Amino acid sequence: MTDAPLSQPSSKTVGTETSRKVRIFEKGSARNVTAATGGWFGLGGRFLPKDLTTLEGLNASYVTKEVLLGITIGFAQVPESVAFAFLAHVRPHVALHAAWVMGLFCSLLGGRPGMVNGATGAFAAIIATFLPVPEKAGGNGEHVELLFPSVMLAGVLMLAASAANLSRFILLLPTPVMVGFCNGLAIVIGLAQLHPFHDEARSSGWKEGYELMWMLVITAVSMLTMEFLPKVPLQIFKVIPSSLMAILVAILLEFAVVRNCGSRTDTIGDVSEFTAETAFPIPFFVEHPSTGYDLDKIVNSWTSIQNIIVQGILLCVVGSIESLMTSEVVESFTKTPSEGDRSLFAMGLGNIVSGFLGGMGGNAMIGLSTINVLNGGRGRMAPTCTALVVMASVMGAYSLLNFIPVAALAGIMIVVVLHTFKWFSLGMIFAAILPKCLRDYLNLHRKVPRIEALVVLVVTILSKQTNIAVAVLVGVSICAISFAWDAGNDFKLSESMAGAIKVYDVDGPLFFTSANRLVKLLDPSRDPEEVELRFGEATLMDFTSVETLHKIALNYKNEGKTITFHTLNLSSQKIIEKANHLVRAIEYTSSDDAVRLPSVPSFTEGFRRDPMAHEGVFERIASFDRVLSPGRKAAKETKAKVETPKDSPKDVEVDV
C-alpha cells in the first residue's frame, strides 16, 4: 500500500499531538482517538523517538553534510560557551561540560532534530543574578555550590512540564513578549562584555594605557572577522566558522604583534586556566581539585534552600521558553512538526545530569540552531557531532583554549548581541509614540497598537532590572489584561419587543469583564413582567458569568418579574453543571432580609425548552434544587427532547 500524494484531496486530516492523541476530522465530524503508542520508553515514546531507530534517509550525502555542519558549529560553540561562563560568573569548564552534556542528551534522547543545545545566554543571565562577580577574575562567584542543585531541580521541573504536556502553553506567549525577551537578553549579554575591561587594581576601575588599546583592537578585529568574513565570495570561508576564524586571527594578533611590541592582554590561561584536572566532569559533591565546593552552604540555612528553589524555577521557565521558541524557529525552516513535550523531556534529563556533574545546565541555542538549519541541517547527527566537538575540545585540546584572548570572546559576543537584538522594534516603539501626521511625514509605516509597543519596552527594561523570567511574566500579564479588556468591549446587548415580552439578544463572550457590564445594562424596574435573554453565539466562559446570571435572576424575582434564558450552547451548559455545588455557598442579601440561595438552581428556574440543550440537563439541576430546598416552591420542570446531532464530538479509545 503506497501513501497518497500530498496534493490528493482527502476526507481525513490527521495531526499527531505530544499527548499521544490523534485528532481525526472527517467531513465535519470530530472524534478523539487515544492511541496506545510506545509510552515514555517504548518505540516512538518520549525516551526513544522513532527517528532514532530508523535508517530512512541515511545516505552518504546526508552523513557528510551533517558531520561537517556539526564540526563547524562545534568550533563556534566553544568560544560562545566560554563567554557565557564569564557572564554567569563561573569558571569556563563549568559551561563547556554543560554544553556537551546538554548537546548529547537533547540530540540522542528526544530533542528536536536540527536543534543545537548547550550552555546559553538565557541560563547565564539568570545565574548571574544569583552569583556575585568573583573576587578573582575567572573564578566562581560566591555560593556557586547552590547552582548545581538548582540546575538539577530545573531538570526535574522540565520533566514534570513534559509529563503534564505544558509545552502547548507556548502559544500564550505573544510576539511583543518574544521581541522584548530577545532585546532584554541581548542587553544583558552585551553589558556583560564590559567585564573583561574592568581592573579593580586601578583607581579608575578600568584597564588603561596600551593594554586597553590592544584589547579594543583585538575586540574590533574579532568583530569584523566574524561579521564580514562569511560575506567574502570564497568557498573556504563558507565552510570555516567565522567565530573560529575570529579566534585564530585574535591569537595571531596577540602573540605575533601585541607581545612583540612589549605589551600583552589577558588570555583564558591568564584568567581561568584549563588543566588536566578540569578536563573531565566530576560530580560537584566529590572532593577534587577542580571542585573544592563548600557543600555545607547548600543546607546551612533556609535562605540557601529558598535560593535553590527560586533559581531552579526561573531556570526551568526561561530555558523552556527559549527552547520552545527555538523549536518554532527551526520548524519554520524545516517545515516539519515540533514535539515540544519531547524536547522538554530530553532537556530535563540533560539538566539533571549536567547539574550532577557540576555543569551550569542549558537549553536550545537559537543562534546556532538557525545557522544549522539555514545550511541544510535537518537531523540529529549534526547537533550530536557539535556536542562531540565541544567534548573533545575540553577533554583533549584544553591546552589550546588557554591561548584565546579574552577580548576576542568579547568581540564575538558583541556580534551575537547585535544579531539577537530586534532592531526593528525601535521603529515600532517610535512609531507608536508619534501622531499620524508625523508618521506619514516620516514615512514610518510600522505602527502597532501602543499597548504592544509598551509590552516590548517593559519586557526589555525588566530583563535588565530584574531577570528575564519576571520580565516575560509581566509582559504576558499586560497582554492578557489588554486582551480581556478589548474582548469585553466586543460584548453587545440589543433589545426588542415580541408582543408583551421584552427580548434581549447577547452577542460576544460573557466572562468577568463583560458579565459585570451585563448586570448594569439590565434594569428590572423599567422592563415588563416577562423578559427573555437570548445568547445566540455568546458563551459562558467562567464562574463570574454563571454567578452574574444568578444575580440577574434574583433582581427580576425581587421585582416580581420573570426572566428566561435561551439558546445556551453545550459548553455553557457544562460550566453550569460543574458550578452547581460550588455556587451554593454564596450568600446574598436582599433589601428585606438575608437569605442563602443555591445560585445555579435559582436562575435555572428561568430556563425554558431549549432547542440546543441535551435532554435532562436542567431537569437534573431543578430536581437537585428541590432536594436541597424542600421548603421552596418546586422549580418548574424544563425538558428538551432533542436528538444528538450526527456531527457531535464522540470520544473513542483504540489500541494501535
Q: Where in the chain is the domain with CATH 3.30.750.24?
A: 490-646
Tell me, what's the pLDDT at 519? 85
For residue 537, pLDDT beyond 70: yes
Q: Could you tell me which residue, 103 or 189, shows the higher pLDDT? A: 103
Distance CA 288, CA 146 (A): 17
Average per-residue pLDDT for the chain? 79
pLDDT at 34: 33
The predicted structure's pLDDT at residue 37: 42
Burial of 89 (0-12, 13-18, 19+ CB in 10 A): buried
| CA of residue 524 relative to chain centroid, distance | 48
What integer pLDDT is reported at residue 618 of this predicted model? Answer: 37
Closest CA to 467 of 99, 125, 191: 125
Residue with cell 544579531: 419
Pairing, β 501-507 against β 594-596: unpaired
> What is the distance, to the nearest Å, from the Cα of residue 87 to the centroid of all Cα atoms in its chain?
22
58: left (phi over 0), alpha (psi -120 to 50) or beta: beta
Question: How many Cα atoms occupy the beta-carbon half-sphere of 599 within 13 Å?
Answer: 24
**Exposure string for 571-588, b = 16+ CB within 10 A, e = fewer:** ebbebbeebbeebbeeee
Most confident residue range from 3-17, 124-138, 197-211, 341-355 = 341-355
Report how far residue 454's alpha carbon sits from residue 429's, in angstroms, rounded to the nearest whole number. Answer: 7
How far, CA to CA in Å, does 219 sit from each of 224, 267, 403, 516? Answer: 9, 13, 15, 60
Nearest-angstrom CA–CA distance, 93 and 102: 14
228-261, pLDDT tens digit by residue?
988 888 877 777 778 888 899 999 999 999 999 9
Q: Could you tell me if 95 and 119 are in contact, meaning their C-beta atoms sit under 8 angstroms apart? A: yes
State which H helix or E strand residue 395 sits in.
helix 381-395
Partners of 588 in beta bridges: 595
pLDDT of residue 533 exceeding 50, the answer is yes
Cβ-based neighbours of 545, under 8 Å, separated by 6 or more: 510, 511, 512, 515, 575
The three-state secondary structure class of 141 is: coil
Res. 227: pLDDT tops 50:
yes
d(CA 52, CA 50): 5
Q: Three-state SS for 506?
A: strand
Which one is predicted more confidently, 491 or 503? 503
pLDDT reported for residue 52: 67
Tens of pLDDT, residue by residue over 299-354, are 888 899 999 999 999 999 999 999 988 888 888 888 888 888 889 999 999 999 99
Helix, strand and coil in the chain, % to nearest 5: 55, 10, 35
pLDDT at 101: 96
Helix (H, G, I), strand (E, B) or coil at 40: coil
Q: What is the pLDDT of residues 397-446, one digit of tens each?
A: 888 889 999 999 899 889 888 988 999 999 889 888 888 888 888 888 88
Does residue 290 have a pLDDT over 60? yes
Closest CA to 295 of 148, 154, 156, 151: 148
What is the structure's pLDDT at 49? 66
- Residue corresponding to grid cell 446587548: 493
Full-model pTM: 0.74
Amino acid (one-letter) located at 303: T
Specify the DSSP element, H or E, that contains 652.
Answer: strand 650-654
The pLDDT of residue 12: 39
Lowest mean pLDDT among 54-63, 220-229, 336-345, 555-564: 54-63
In this prediction, residue 281 carries a pLDDT of 93
pLDDT at 538: 76
Residue 368 CB neighbours (<10 A): 27
Selected residue with higher pLDDT from 507 and 569: 507
Pick from 24-33, 66-75, 250-259, 436-445 the range whose average pLDDT is largest. Answer: 250-259
The confidence score (pLDDT) of residue 160 equals 95
Which CA distances in Å does 171 have to 82, 166, 321, 595? 33, 10, 11, 45
Gap between the Cα atoms of 388 and 32, Å rounded: 42
The pLDDT value recorded for residue 350 is: 95
Predicted pLDDT of residue 487: 84
Residue 532 has what pLDDT? Answer: 87
Q: What is the phi/psi pair of residue 288, to 5°? A: -160, 150
Return the number of other C-beta atoms located less than 10 Å from residue 11's C-beta.
8
Rounded CA separation 444/431 (Å): 6
Whole-number percent of the chain with pLDDT over 70: 79
Q: Say if residue 456's pLDDT is above 90.
A: yes
Look at the alpha carbons of 279, 282, 285, 288 in this order and tell me if their dihedral is positive or negative: negative
What's the confidence (pLDDT) of residue 55?
A: 63
Superfamily of domain 490-646: STAS domain (3.30.750.24)
Q: Is the pLDDT of residue 32 over 70?
A: no
Q: What is the pLDDT confidence band of residue 582, given thresholds at 50, 70 and 90?
A: low
> How many whole angstroms separate alpha carbon 213 and alpha carbon 199?
14
